[in-house]
Amino acid sequence: MKYLHTMVRVTDVDASLKFYRDALGLEEVRRSEHEAGRFTLIYLAAPGDEDAQIELTYNWDAETYAGGRNFGHVAYAVPDIYAACQRLKDHGVTINRPPRDGRMAFVRSPDGISVELLQDGPALPPAEPWISMPNTGAW
């Protein structure tokens, strides 16, 4: 398993970059615009340490974040998304967003922290029981 990033939702990209980039000293690693989903992702990291990133997610439509909703998730790359989810399930963890696509899943910690699991490398071929498994709760 490898740590990837922590995601926080932001309401003002310019103000956020002034804080994270200009004041804190992080460097922008990459940025992507997702018109269909109406959001922008900006990844930043400390100079020389691109392995530990923060993902700023800016949703284009105005939204008020309450109850910690601005904190998104912690993400890890795993060598086999299905094996990782099966292990979690065997330990009694609810798979909130199953890896129907062979690439991404979400679970929650006992304290409600959302954890994203991403297939390291290309997506695995879709497989049961994951294809038929519905989302459960919030992720």
**Cis status of the peptide bond prior to 134, with omega within 30 of 0:** no
116 is catalytic: yes
Closest by CA position to 54, among listed 66, 40, 43: 43
Name the catalytic one among 28, 33, 35, 116: 116
Residue type, 87: R
> Which residues, 6+ apart, have CB-to-CB distance to 12 below 8 Å?
none
Cα distances (angstroms) measured from residue 56 to each of 6, 27, 106, 122, 126 = 9, 12, 18, 24, 29
Query: Which residues are known catalytic residues?
Result: 116
